[in-house]
Amino acid sequence: GIPMEIIVGKMFKLEIWETLLSSMRAGEVAEFWCDAIHTGMYALVSRGKRRIAEGQDPLEGQKHRCGMGNMFDYHSTGYDDLDELQRTPQPLIFIMELFRVEEPSAYKRDTWAMSKEEKLAAVPMLHSEGNRLVLCKEFGQAAAKYQEAVICLRNLQAKEKPWEDGWLKLESLVTPLVLNYCQCQLELGEYYEVLEHTTELLQKHNENAKAYFKRAKAHAAVWNEREAREDFLRVAHLDPSMAAAVKKELKQLGERMRKKHVEDRKRYQGLF
């Protein structure tokens, strides 16, 4: 019941569909006969569409590989007619209806569909929007904006050689976004999410005081006293200007742990 969207120029799923649709006008219904040379991937595309129509996840149970790779693993699409089409590719007839054509600027494109220039242009806008949402205390929405910006940059980084100039320049943009994302997760109480992302960040940048500080707060929140103290002390060593904040956090940590120990003793006394 939902029309499929195709972004022309990305050759997504079945390349021939772009050629067919580009010859049509909005509102037109047309029938096309396509030689087998253009229809080899149809069985895999159709499998995904059928599973969606059945209310299933088209990727459920698959390994994290391309569609053809999964075919080698499972030896079947799960549909007899599509398996036969895989064994003996043949010409197909497609009947297509073109509902609407939109200009590139008329809709919000997913990250994968953006060019390098579009991704770079999107990052500062996403960063700014995330900051605005933080001021409004909309931490969940802000985190999503920061995360989207990080994904844009990571996609670009994947095409650069690690630790060379291009990669490092992108990494310098990623780091503050990850820290902002972690701050939002602290506000939302997603402490293990913070531990995961700050630890990953510190594996690359082991002198980032802000990352240690956020990780320390996450450790403190989940009662990892020793790890929290180690991280807080590391912050004070790396950035003396944060010493006052560290002292305050350590005092609060000590008070919380003492209170917890008292409560634990009372709880255990009641058991024996």
Q: Is the pTM value of this prediction over 0.75?
A: no
pLDDT, position 63: 47
Q: Which residue has the higher pLDDT, 141 or 4?
A: 141
Q: Averaging pLDDT over each range in 15-29, 37-51, 68-82, which range is the top one?
A: 15-29
Tokens of 139: 């931490």
Instruction: Calculate the average pLDDT of the chain.
Output: 88
pLDDT, position 212: 97
Q: Is the pLDDT of residue 64 over 50?
A: no
pLDDT, position 106: 67
pLDDT confidence tier of residue 25, bands split at 50, 70 and 90: very high
Tokens of 250: 């350590």
Query: How many whole angstroms separate alpha carbon 55 and alpha carbon 209?
Result: 47
Query: How many whole angstroms separate alpha carbon 231 and alpha carbon 240?
Result: 14
Q: Is the pLDDT of residue 73 over 60?
A: no
pLDDT, position 272: 59
Domains in the chain, CATH or no CATH each: 15-98 (3.10.50.40), 116-269 (1.25.40.10)
Q: pLDDT by residue (tens digit) across 161-202?
A: 999 999 999 999 999 999 999 999 999 999 999 999 999 999
With pLDDT > 90 as the criterion, what percentage of the chain qualifies? 64
